[in-house]
Structure formats: C-alpha cells, structure tokens
Structure 1
Amino acid sequence: MPSQGDLPLEKGDIEEFGYNREAGFIWLTQKKKISHVFKQIKKMVSYEPEVTAFVETYKMKKVTGVTAKELLLWHCVVEIYLDNPSFEKLTFKTGMGLSRSLPASAFELEH
C-alpha cells in the first residue's frame, strides 16, 4: 500500500474528499477502514471510513476517525501539529490528553 504522508491512501478507495475553506473543515470518506504501519517508527495507525478535522497552519484539531496503537492499547488521535520553526517533529495528542512527538521524516512519502 503506498503511503501519502500521514494518511495512507489506496487508489480507488477514496469516495469523497472535501474542504470547507471558511470553517477550515476537511473530510475524507473511503470504502473501508485502513490500517497502516509506519515502518521507520514501527507504529500502527488505523483510519476509519470517515476521517474529519479542522485545519490551521501546521495543525489539525478535533480529528475524528484516526487511532494509533501504543503498546497494547488503541488511542484516538484528536490533534496533530508540526513544530515550528524547525518542522522536525510531529506531535500527536490523544483524547486522554497524552501526547507524543515523533520525527516528521517518518511520515514522508514512501516509494
């Protein structure tokens, strides 16, 4: 499965993508739930058939439909942001208030 940065996409699975510029709201619907392992950091992430978020510069807030496995537990990811000005780390926050910063390079396109 090819990776497209933070969200692995499989050709033909995307049903709809939308962006409400005024509200900063994005949504993506796909045919099925997708799980992906980011090899560089050995993390599994699962994407529901519908993923939504509010976007700002270098940040996604109120994310829905994304869960990440940490140890044996799955956690809902609710916020993702890129540190500024270095852009070397991506930070992920869960609904429980936990956060984890990971190298941004781990989410670059895989060939």
Structure 2
Amino acid sequence: MASKDIETHRAGAEVYHGATLCKQKAQELLEKFRLPKTLMPCNNLVEFGFNQITGFTWLKQQKTTKYRLKDIGISSFASEMTGFLEDGRMRKFTGIKSKEMMIWVPLSDIAIDRSDLNKIIFTALMGLSKSYPLTAFEIEPEEIK
C-alpha cells in the first residue's frame, strides 16, 4: 500500500537519493514544519520524497530499523514510511511503531501539543495517545541492532 501511495504522489515531488542527502533533506523538512529533527532517525535512508502541493512525504530505507530514545523507549521504523506533513504535525503516517509494555503499537499521528508547545503527542491507530516533553528529542536516538 505504501508503494502505491508513493507512486500516486511522486509526480511533482522533490525526490532525493543517498543516505547523507536524504538525512539532510528529511531533517530540514521536519524543522520547517516545526517538528524535532530527531523525531525520525534518518541514518539509513535510501530515498526521501516530499510533494509540496499535497504535503505527502515518504522515506525509504533498506530494512526496518529500531531505535531507542532514552526518555521514550523503543520505536520501529519500517522500510517504507509515508504520511502527510503540516505545521507541527505528521498525520496518517504508516510504518512507525512504538513498543508499549511488550506490544508494538502502530502510530498514525504525531503533533506538537497546541495547549503546551513544549510537549509532543503520539496517537495510535486505535485512538490512544501519549505525550512527551520535546526535550526528549534533543539527543540522537541509539540504533538497536
């Protein structure tokens, strides 16, 4: 499904290849939309795309990668991730999971809390949400092998 969505939004999109350039462009885009640049680890990307008209973005990496953020826990990033970016928010995202009490929970929405701009809210597909301080994203996450 992700590949189909990517092909639908590829026309007119900015597309980048190569780990260094993809990481740079992905982090620039996250900052442009006022999201932490370490929100999505970008060390293993092979393709990054963004359609400015629709807000659709995609990230491709060679394999699923897991990361640990000290104050948050473990997250898993699929080989293909897709979603829409808007100011302070990533919505309808696919390919991102968070481990909560030994269960992998797919995330669909990540947004800066409008009532407290120092917090970020993660929402799962089933509507459950959890917030964290933005300061948790000030350090680079550790990749889990």
Q: TM-score range by the shorter chain?
A: 0.7 to 0.9
Q: TM-score, normalised by structure 1?
A: 0.87
Give the Cα–Cα distance (whole angstroms) in 2 for the partners of residues 64 and 45 of structure 1. Answer: 13
Gaps of 5+ in 1: none
Partner of 1:35: 66
2:136 to 84, 106, 109: 106
Gaps of 5+ in 2: 1-36
2:87 to 57, 60, 79: 57
Whichever structure has more helix as a proportion of its residues is: 2
Give the Cα–Cα distance (whole angstroms) in 2 for the partners of residues 39 and 22 of structure 1. Answer: 36
Give the Cα–Cα distance (whole angstroms) in 1 for the partners of residues 81 and 62 of structure 2. Answer: 12
**Counterpart residue identity of residue 38, structure 1:** L
Calculate percent identity across the aligned residue pairs. Answer: 37
Q: CA offsets per residue over residues 28-64 of structure 1, 9 Å max, x none? A: 00111110010123x1000000111111110110000
Whichever structure has more strand as a proportion of its residues is: 1
SS in 2 for 1:8: coil
**Counterpart residue identity of residue 83, structure 1:** D
Partner of 2:11: none
**Counterpart residue identity of residue 108, structure 2:** V
Q: Which has the larger radius of gyration?
A: 2
Q: TM-score, normalised by structure 2?
A: 0.68
2:114 to 80, 84, 91: 84
- Equivalenced residues, count: 105
